[in-house]
Amino acid sequence: MTNADEKGLSEKATRELEAQIPLMASIATRQAYERAKSTGQTVVVSRNGFIVAELADGSEHILGVSLPRRKVKVGIPFKLGAGARRAGA
């Protein structure tokens, strides 16, 4: 075992920290949203099947319709970007 391996986290500690990632990401996303709103910036969100711009004055403008979510299967490649529909159809 190398010196770096001896000082590393245990498997259990690593799993416990990794389990916190979704919550930490959620908190960071919410904080970024609140910070943007508090500084008067326009925030774009997905709500009820629409892409909505929330303006600093409190008004909302619908920018477009959200595409439906797509189920993916483990181990099967999923293409993103231009031409993805044609490749997956």
83, pLDDT greater than 90: no
Q: For residue range 17-46, what is the model confidence (pLDDT) as tens digits? A: 999 999 999 999 999 999 999 999 999 999
Residue that wins the pLDDT comparison between 65 and 1: 65
Please list, in sequence order, all residues whose beta carbon lies within 8 angstroms of the beta carbon of residue 45, skipping any fewer than 6 positions away: 33, 51, 52, 54
Residue ranges covered by each domain of the chain: 3-68
For residues 55 and 83, what is the distance between their CA atoms, to the nearest angstrom?
Answer: 32
Task: Quote the pLDDT of residue 14.
Answer: 94
Longest dimension (CA), the chain: 60
Residue that wins the pLDDT comparison between 32 and 68: 32
Range of lowest pLDDT (34-38, 58-62, 63-67, 79-83): 79-83
